[in-house]
Structure 1
Amino acid sequence: MPDPSLVSPDTWEHDFALVSREGNDEVQLALFRDYQNNRPLYPLLHEFLRTSEVPVLAVWGRNDEIFGPAGARAFARDAKDAEVHLINGGHFLLESHLDVVAGYLRGFLGRVLG
């Protein structure tokens, strides 16, 4: 996050409270251990994107260290007419660039829903 002051403390305090709930550490570890089962599904997702013509919008933080921009670009390789926008921001893109993201979303929905 280039300017951490743009992220309201309410955002991360709320997230911290949720992940700090009793037993959540075990839930998160179980999800992490199970992630290996997601990988075999990736080819099915990419095939779906290639064949379904489902509209895809990816508005992504170019500097997101959790979900890197390669994830957004992957949509463009498989989804016909995918819209991919890499914004000069990080993981908290809605906090730092809400108006930009909302503009892309409104335009996309206007075109897709007519």
Structure 2
Amino acid sequence: MTESAEMAQWAAFAADEKKAREVRILDIRGISGVTDYFVICSGTSGTHVRAIADHVEKQLTERGLKIDHVEGYRNGKWVLLDFGDLVIHVMQEDERAFYNLERLWGDAVEVAVRTPAAG
């Protein structure tokens, strides 16, 4: 498993720890030159979205990843965490339904979310 694949699992796990809804990992290697994986999940409010984003960022930076860019944190409707080879989208449910990233990236392979290896 590549480092970005393993970090996608850690991001999904961290989101789940904060009770994110519908956590998905999309492998977009080969269909995007921008990143390798998307982790997409939903929160129930701006506060919940920010809490999920904070926890995911903390967990990944503790594992040595450097965040390149954060967008949308202030309004909390859609927070994007860009780690280069891994991009995490934490969205309120209505935003997620409207933008439907899973459909937009329909050629992506959905990766099963599993508990990542300790370490």
Structure with higher helix content: 1
TM-score range, shorter chain: under 0.3
How high is the TM-score relative to the length of structure 2?
0.24
Structure with higher strand content: 2
Q: Which has the higher contact order (CA 8 A, sep 6+)?
A: 2
Larger radius of gyration: 1
